[in-house]
Chain A
Amino acid sequence: MAFVLRAFANGADGVFIGGCWLGECHYVTEGNYDALSMMHLSRKVLEQVGINPQRLRLEWIAGSEGMRYAEVMNDFGRKLKELGPIGVAEGISKDGLKLKFQAVKKILPFLKLVERERLRVRFKTEEEYNQYFSSDEVNKLISELVADKLAISQITTLLGEKPLSTREISEILHLEASDVARYLNSTARQGLVRYDTSHKQYAIA
């Protein structure tokens, strides 16, 4: 996941993950099932930070399927061209992108924990993964566990550069001012940020 984020942070318009078909992994660990879960989780995270999740794609292509590989890559390339450059299509500036991915990177250990404790599933088919990761149960979990954490991470990353007011934060991050205020309150309580009364701005504690 760190690799995927790194590529996006560098301005890649899309990231492609290729793997052996499910059940054909050369290792008994069969990590391609894990990769599939990770891909779904990464897409959820991309969605949370306002990036089109279709920019991340995973396909199973066996070593012998050269033609399929070419077809898939051509198709992915075409789709990415349709989407346009990353950020531009989403209305996020280059610096904004950088910040968002930095924020995600910060909570990576937490995401791994969520994956391990709450999202560790093992199905047989890709379809089951698709269903599971689009289920209400998972969506609820993401919005409860990941969304707040991500927003706070973005805020603290942003404040790491310079102190800002609630309104400024909400504008830069495209977040509701009320939500920003709520996040700032809770982080202030944890002692992570402080309110600079003289400048009416928040800053890193």
Chain B
Amino acid sequence: MENELAQKNLIDVLVVGGGISGIQASLDLANSGFKVYLIDKSPAIGGKMSQLDKTFPSNDCSMCIESPKFNECSRHPNISIMTYTEVGAVKGKPGNFKVTLVKKPRYVVESKCTGCNICAEYCPVKVPDQYNQNLSTNKAIHIYFSQALPLIPYIDPKTCLYLKDGSCAICEGVCKPRAIDLHQEEEEIEVEVGAIVLSPGFETFDPKLRTDFGYGVMENVVTSLDYERILCSTGPYEGTIRRPSDKKHPEKIAWIQCVGSRQVTPGGNSYCSAVCCAYTQKQVILTKDHDAGMEATIFHNDIRAFGKDFERFYQRAEKLPDVRFIRSYVSVGKEIPDSKNVTIRYSTPDEGVKEEEFDMVVLSVGLNPPSDVQGLATTFGIELNEHGFCKTKPSNAIETSRPGIFVSGAFIGPVDIPESVVAASGANALCSELLSYRRGDLSREREYPEEKDVSEEDIRIGVVTCLCGANIGRVVDTPSVAAYAATLPGVVYSEENLFACSTENAQLIADAIVKHNLNRVVLAACTPRTHEPLFRDTCREAGLNQYFFEFANIREHCSWVHSKDKEGATQKAKDIIRMSVARAAHLEPLEEFQLPVNPAVLVIGGGLAGMTSALSMANIGFEVYLLEKSSDLGGMARRIHYTIDGFDVQPYLVDLVSKVYRHPSIHVYLDAIITEASGYVGNFTTTVKTEGQVKVIDHGAAIIATGAEEYKPTEYLYGTDDKVLTSLELEDHIVRRDEKVVNSQSLVMIQCVGCRQADRNYCSRVCCNQSIKNALKMREMNPEMDIYILFRDMRTYGLKEDYYREASSKDIKFIRYEATDKPLVEAATEGGQPIIRVTVTDPILGQKLAIDADLLVLAAAIIPSPSTQGIAKLFKTATSPDGFFQEAHVKLRPVDFAADGVFLCGLAHYPKHITETISQAYGAAGRAINLLSKDTVTASGAVCEVEEEDCVSCGACITCCAYGAIEFKDTPRGKKATVNPVLCKGDGLCNAKCPTQAIKLKHYTDDEIFSQIDASVPDDERPHCPGAADCGSGCKK
């Protein structure tokens, strides 16, 4: 027993903070064979992402893409979630930390609570709802938000009447499972931990600190996070856009950018928060979706659309009717007493300062370090940077200053969701390196009894009708529904259940399966989206194939939407159950098959990204095959000598290259060209021509890190005048201390050369920093030089903003130009010397300005590597409209491909800085480890299958399958389509295309669906069959 207890408190990795980054870190670690504790100080996991309405630039519903991960975490045998929990102390060293966890009392016993929310209904105390940014009210006891995990309420001790003065305990009385414990106390738990991942996230900037924005004083001034809630269908106004003062639809909204960011005045942050430009554009687009007539005005400084697809996203917002982007500093004027409208003063180029009235003002607030960040730093013994974010090195943004403690998410600095997710996966790679010796020791797998064979049995369906507390029971007459279900064909067991999902009651269902020898189970309850995995599991535990489980949703589809029509709802519940029972009778047991995984990885591209991934994976113990198309490792990093934050790249690169060459598990192939690639997740075979030989490599995963190139400009005299260089060429001259360059009197840099234009409609992300970096270096070498940077928007996002400010203060002149009025460049002679004359419109004076330059440097675009399309074809991966590789999901699967087993990092994905590349390389490694650390990979049983006899070899299925899962094979009856179940995703498109219904999707067969459609109409209402024999149209016989 004691031993067991010790085991219980011994874990591999503690993840602190349950936002999207902490969730991803936990999942990746747990899937790599580590036992994980995920703790969050909030009552539920989800973090800030759970408060967002949609995510840019794809406008996915934020909760819809995040909440499946909640369930994945909660169901993972190697993840324990502890909410309302903080860390008290951290002692010890890597591999053996001793951590004190402090669990705050939530006054609800988690093991007893079913999440029915009846307590909140009866609670008499209304409190501002924190989740809704205090824009609506909730109760003193409530569930944090409706999809919360755990789905367990907590009591706010500050407002609960009982906890204040003992005057109420209604919740205790109404709670049927007796889960309320008003005497719960704080609990301390000691755990032994191998490594720690810190993902505490961020706080939004509080504009109350700056009285000049009117926030907290003027009702219709809200923050952007408030506005997310206002937009959201689960928000305070149920998804209709209203303003706080009078709940009217605002017709004219202003957004003010950079609130609390890029401000060196007291109370502000000097850095750029990196996410606000894009989220504002998102909010504008969504607002216009809600109300096409709404007028939107965005007061901004630069537009920083530096991320993948952000440029197009900006254009989309900007092109909408009645949307104005105005480049101006602003001040909030006054509140109009009657209308509660708010005025904003701004400057215009033509009319001077104007004051305009708006119905509502949204402050695009920036990202701050987490609250009490000093306390956090002290507890964990880590250092912070000057902005209060976690201090990290340019060569590794995932390591904190204390070994064994890693960081992911916005605690690194202001980043958006994909980078948070990348760092989380990267933390998995680094933890795996540290703890590889104990991987798998503490983790466990679920075990199930042997499955019974029911093929010879009659159909015996069990129907369980769940009351879901009062959620269903109050509206639907469940006793009559259960009685009705018992009369349906094949049903041998029908019961009601107060809460089918509670651990106890799920066990009752499992017992019933055994006792009544059921071979199909229909559960009439809530939604398969959240609960199907649980009940499939219940079936497995009772020895029944999990595909014999069928869900009938009588909550979301019935009781919740028809709460005012009890009779109608009861009838509909019967209809829904009848359909499910009909389908259940046709269900077949399916095998989820296990495929062996080859624990070797192929890394394509020997640049910084590829080498970092390769070395990390080799350190963990996997075999690595590293391909490089040129004759040496290094890639683009060979041309970069220093970074803006002072990282000396070349010594790092030399060291990395030698570590890669020396590592016994890394096999480097130079001059490598891939000629063939075949196979699927876990089992790829790739043929490579390398240094005159042909190698056939078997591998379980592949990482694509093929890099990108610098665009060779055709504009601005590049190539015809040797005084015109690209940024990378300048860097080379600087490093060589080329006298001609160093002694120039006048230097002009032009930004956005070759991108942000029709044929390359994206921002190359790195060039602004690159130019400032070089300008500062030049300034250092030659304090007298005139340096000009001609730019469209300076995109020194994040903490790099400080260098932009430094450059301005060091007399580097920034002149903005418009895309429609590009600088003119001509060769000229001045005082007998050949020079470059650059003419640009000065936006302040409105006049043409001619600059005579000794040197013209072009910030040339980063363009996709020419090998991209070829590799994409070989590995069946997608590419973006701009020609870079396209990840599986821009937010949540940033280094995965839709094709399983293939991962992505570095410039091949999109232009990025060295530090970002390294993080992404660790991220790709972290994802690949997930796959390769398992002996086998499970493929779903719900895949397509071809009935060869019916196949007419038309190929319709093959042409429509974007996963390449179907191909022809030779059979004695000729060519027939055949499905590779490993590649099939079960979307069923081929079913719709097949003219002879020869291809079927298992678990969703025509028979199953037809029976359901037929049952939707009660027997006596169906038309009689006109044909003499059965026409096969489901009519009444």
**When the two chains form their complex, are residues A7 and B1016 in contact, meaning their CB atoms are under 8 A apart?**
yes
Per the bound structure, the CA–CA distance linking A1 and B561 in Å amounts to: 28
Residue of B nearest to A66 (CB): B233
Do the beta carbons of A10 and B1023 come within 8 Å of each other? yes
* Complex CA distance for A160 and B1031, rounded to whole angstroms: 11
CB neighbours of A88 from chain B (8 A): none
Is A136 located at the chain interface by the 8 A CB criterion?
no
By the criterion CB–CB under 8 Å, are B987 and A161 in contact?
no
**B956 contacts A116, CB within 8 Å?**
yes
Q: Which of B58-66, B126-134, B535-543 is found at the contact surface with chain A?
A: B58-66
Q: Are B61 and A98 in contact (CB under 8 A)?
A: no
Residue of A nearest to B961 (CB): A29
A123 at the interface (CB under 8 A from B): no
| Residues of chain A contacted by B962 (CB below 8 angstroms) | 27-30
Judge whether A70 and B561 touch: CB under 8 Å. yes
Question: Inside 8 A of B1034's CB, which chain A residues have their CB?
Answer: 6, 9-10
Chain B residues within an 8 Å CB radius of A11: 1017, 1021-1023
Give Cα A182 to B253, complex, Å.
66
* Residue in chain B with minimal CB distance to A110: B995
A1-22 to B contact mask, C-beta < 8 Å, 1/0: 1110011011110000000000
CA of A24 to CA of B1009, assembled, Å: 25
Q: At the interface, yes or no: A63 with Cβ under 8 Å from chain B?
A: yes
A51 within 8 A of B: no
Q: Are A98 and B238 in contact (CB under 8 A)?
A: no
Interface size on B (CB < 8 Å)? 50
Asked whether, in the complex, the Cβ of A160 is within 8 Å of the Cβ of B1027, the reply is yes
Q: Which residues of B contact A2 (CB under 8 A)?
A: 997, 1006, 1010
Q: Are the C-beta atoms of A109 and B996 separated by less than 8 Å?
A: yes
With a CB–CB cut-off of 8 A, which chain B residues contact A28? 878, 898, 962-963
Is residue A95 contacting chain B, with contact meaning CB distance below 8 A? yes
Task: Give complex CA distance A6, B582 in Å.
Answer: 15
On whether the beta carbons of A63 and B989 are closer than 8 Å, the reply is no
Q: 1/0 contact trace for B912-936 toward A, CB 8 Å?
A: 0000000000000000000000000
When distances are taken between beta carbons in the complex, the residues of chain A under 8 Å from B1031 are 98, 102
| Chain B nearest Cβ from A7, distance in angstroms | 5
Mask for A89-116, Cβ within 8 A of B = 1, else 0? 0000011011101100100111011001
B1024 and A6: CB pair below 8 A?
A: no
CA gap between A140 and B962 in the complex, in Å? 31
- Cα(A144)–Cα(B997), bound, Å: 25
How far is B952's CA from A110's CA once the two chains are assembled, in angstroms? Answer: 13
Docked CA distance A105–B60 (Å) = 37
Contacts of B238 in A (CB 8 A): 67
**Nearest B-chain residue to A4, judged by Cβ:** B1013
Contacts A2-B1006, A28-B878, A109-B995; is A64 near B64 (CB within 8 Å)? yes
- Say yes or no: is B327 at the interface (Cβ < 8 Å to chain A): no
Tell me if B1016 and A63 are in contact (CB < 8 A): no
Interface presence of B960 (CB below 8 A): yes
Q: Does B1028 contact A (CB under 8 A)?
A: yes
How far apart sit A168 and B963, CA to CA, in the bound complex (Å)? 52
- Scan residues 65-92 of chain A and give those whose CB is less than 8 A from a CB of chain B: 65-67, 70
Contact check, B63 vs A64: say whether CB atoms are below 8 A apart: yes
Give chain A nearest CB distance to B984 CB in angstroms. Answer: 11
A31 near B1023: Cβ-Cβ < 8 Å: no
Interface string of B961-977 (1 = CB under 8 A from A): 11100000000000000
B155 → chain A, closest Cβ, in Å? 28
Please, how many angstroms separate the alpha-carbon atoms of A70 and B233 in the complex? Answer: 13
Q: Contacts A27-B985, A29-B962, A67-B233 given; indicate if A9 touches B992 (C-beta within 8 A).
A: no
| A146 located at the interface, meaning its Cβ lies under 8 Å from any Cβ of chain B in the complex | no
Chain A 112-164 residues near chain B, CB threshold 8 A: 112-113, 116, 160-161
Q: What are the residues of chain A within 8 A of B1006 when measuring CB–CB? A: 2
Query: For the complex, is A34 an interface residue (Cβ under 8 Å from B)?
Result: yes
Minimum CB–CB distance for B32 against chain A, Å = 25
Using CB atoms, name the residue of chain A closest to B64.
A63
- Inter-chain contact B61/A63, CB cutoff 8 Å: yes
Q: Are B995 and A112 in contact (CB-based, < 8 A)?
A: yes
A27 partner residues in chain B, CB cutoff 8 A:
962, 985, 987, 989
Check A116–B993 contact: CB distance below 8 A: yes
CB-CB < 8 A to A108: which residues of B?
995
Interchain nearest-CB distance for B739 vs A (Å):
55
A64-B233, A112-B994, A161-B1028 given; 18 more Cβ-contact pairs under 8 Å = A2-B1006, A10-B1016, A10-B1035, A24-B59, A27-B985, A29-B989, A30-B962, A63-B64, A66-B233, A67-B238, A67-B239, A70-B561, A99-B1026, A102-B1033, A109-B996, A110-B995, A112-B993, A113-B995
For this complex, 7 residue pairs linking A to B, each with C-beta atoms less than 8 Å apart, are A6-B1033, A10-B1014, A10-B1034, A31-B987, A64-B61, A64-B232, A67-B233
The 4 closest A-B pairs by CB, nearest first: A64-B61, A109-B995, A27-B987, A112-B995
Chain A residues near B (Cβ < 8 Å) = 1-3, 6-7, 9-12, 24, 27-31, 34, 38, 62-67, 70, 94-95, 97-99, 101-102, 105, 108-110, 112-113, 116, 160-161
